[in-house]
Structure 1
């Protein structure tokens, strides 16, 4: 049976009629809906109201909601009645109420439509499976003779694959099928005998009628070639009956059939041999009785009768001459034209086939799981929703870690040099988190003046200080509640503000400037820095307790020079974005791409992006070539172990490059942190920390 796949029921969002219109505006701002249910002071459902109507009423001078502002829409008292919503597609929401007209929640139109779409697709799949389960060939054409339906039995009988004939003329199969004759005459043909594809076919052809209109023709047919050869003296009916009986009795598989009431109607010779019982001891008895009397320990027929789905069961014969024999049984449900279960056909095989089937099933399951995981991993790693490129193994591992982190609310500290893409990683975490439908607010702590950053983060009350807005201001912590607040350059926060942020993290409360009442927040905070916070702690510039509170999970984004595999895809992504931005169509040569890939990019992705944007704008040619590249990039053909400074850059970045290269050379030579510390004349703990910070491992090339 097909179950309607209901979307989630939206609860907790409503408008109280007695509230002021300006308060209702805030309710709408705190959710993502433009229409909400209205209830009275007792919680009784009154109707729905639209945000636009409230704004229009406020513009007209209204302060409270009038009855005329409340719209009446269709409501339901039972989720199961929601299927009738097809008649009310004009509604933005569908309220659900109880018998006392109290609001339970509501469904959103877009999600309901998606739910009905999935249900429809399931029904299509079910009907296709029913057609393909038929032993008879089934072909349906439209009034133009084009094939609409062509089941698996038709493939077997007619010798043509479905993919070869769908949508093509019926004449491409065989003109003897005469289906166009039925289209023209609109008269059925019963027991029509034809020679098609070298086989004798018995077919019933009838007009295809839909909503009282002739839409084409249907042919249901069976191959009766062997039947005619075996019994030429008998009439067609006797031949067909004997042929079908012979097929059942000669089947290598044991066949066991019961009706919808669970009464056994037939078994074949193979079943008698496999199970060890005579058919006269089985036919006419209830499946449940056979199980309860101890003939065997399980029943595929009973499972299929209950579930109305295909079921496979391992059975052990518990009595009779075959006691102890293990067999595998697969029950297949058969449904009538009205979709009601009519019979269950059980195929039984002996133990010889069990091993093979089990191996095939296990292999198929493993492959399905493997391919599903690979597809999901590929989808995640190649998502084009932002500029986060993960081609190199180190970035793929980082992305997988970020996606795992996204599903929990632990504190995350993202570290790495300036311009490596820390912000893009935050967007990935937001995308795959439970808060993806909520806001993501980014704050660059180093870009806001020290005297303003506290009011920006925490907000302030009316008249909190000179120059404050008269009505006060909501801080970013409140605005990001239920969502994510990204504090970039956390190392630039002043010490006095670090204390207040630590308190907010621990208590999940904030206090506006000038306020006396704490405000609860549910904000996930992600932090990022390009500074050495541990060094800042030693220098007294960063609080140690705040560091341990935010550094629960550390994600290090490596510089571009350590993941050159990402550069080609980054180049084409940036060029594609710039082409769209400036409405141009430029490309880059392979040689130029290689030079850009070989370059070390001390400014990382930001420098690469700026370089490409400058080339796209200033290069007159349609293709960027090596000759167009800056001199410092054209000259760096090969990356070597030498430390090269080809342009002016911040001393901190130059120091980090030098330190990284020396550590890599020392690790390759000395292999252990103790020997490296002795050679470089520093503490071993410093070496361990810096190797971890730079993600340096031994080069085994």
Structure 2
């Protein structure tokens, strides 16, 4: 049994040395020699290091004592055997010590660990940079004593001991560093304070991190704004939506036309989407990398339309810029010029534009030199140009030069299968823009299909926005629709004749009342023409006839 016990102790990974009270070695095992890195027989305490010798003498005055040197743990404990005092030294290797040391010394923050009295047990190598003192010199020192010596101040230990919770402060070191320090108490299983862990970081580093954080947040805000802007661009960009075969044929033709530079004339009622068709042709063409410029010929006074289109030389007329000005034809170089309401173009300007369509050259107002540009012309009108030609209000040669490839867009009432898909698309865009989820009640579609839509797609677009804003709840119902949209099942003019009048007089009276009512409502002859489904020039002429206007051409303000 004695040999077995001796063999077990000798092969134990824990080194053991037994001393008597005089410091003489009574016995030891092989692991003790290995862990102590000694190769001579162990006879007495004087053979050991000063740290071990001092600990041996100290333990004689108390029950036990432990300390560590690197990864080696030493534990002294004395006891009595047959009334003789003996001391056992246990030596063990801590396999986790090096991992813990690497973690502490590899930390970006400075880490300092004390026992429950504030005595330093561990400290990372950053202490040299912060305090100007090596780690070995600080191990075993009390933090309050170091404060008194001016190594750092104030010490956070008293606050942690008092509050027994995590505390922080700004600390200044003897090297002039300013630190942000956090002290965190560690408790044992019985709830007693066991260790205090301090994390320190230079305030300048924290300020730099805060600045980078603010920069990142500002950059993030910028990206959010740009993303919102891009999202809005996508929402604002109208897609081509249709279901009818008639519109399918129109867009197939437009796609073919886009591949060549021929002049295109788009005809159709107000609001059918002539501008959208012009943009589609431009985007499908080889000119899409350049700009498309849109001009409403009916919105520009006669005396300005020529200079707006062709530009002018400096000093060409009173009020002209000294350096002159390019017209929209030049500004659209390489791209497309869309001339809406081409029927409103004055005759003398038609002549000049005809020349440009024939040889791509023109003269600026007040200029003598020919200017040559590569600009494609797309024109549009809601008027009957052939009728204007017969009335000598539109040049025949200009009409045939414009009408190389005509594209006629049917009104919405002639392609009613497009109404539901357009309504759904318009509502979807509004839902995406305002982050809502409104829907259209089934009965609403039937009402929309029965309506005549004099304002075409534009009227439907305005209606959907109105319903989106004014409807309550998540569904748009028939009760939300405006009264004028709910037409009676049996057609009626809404007129009541009580007396017999000459037919001509009756027609004129109705005509007069309708124009008066429309003008009182819209205050604009273009809008009056739109709702009454006639040309704007007709409205102006009738208003002169019935003494609503004193004279002169109307441009939308009368």
Length-normalised TM-score, structure 1:
0.37
Q: Which has the higher contact order (CA 8 A, sep 6+)?
A: 2
Length-normalised TM-score, structure 2:
0.46
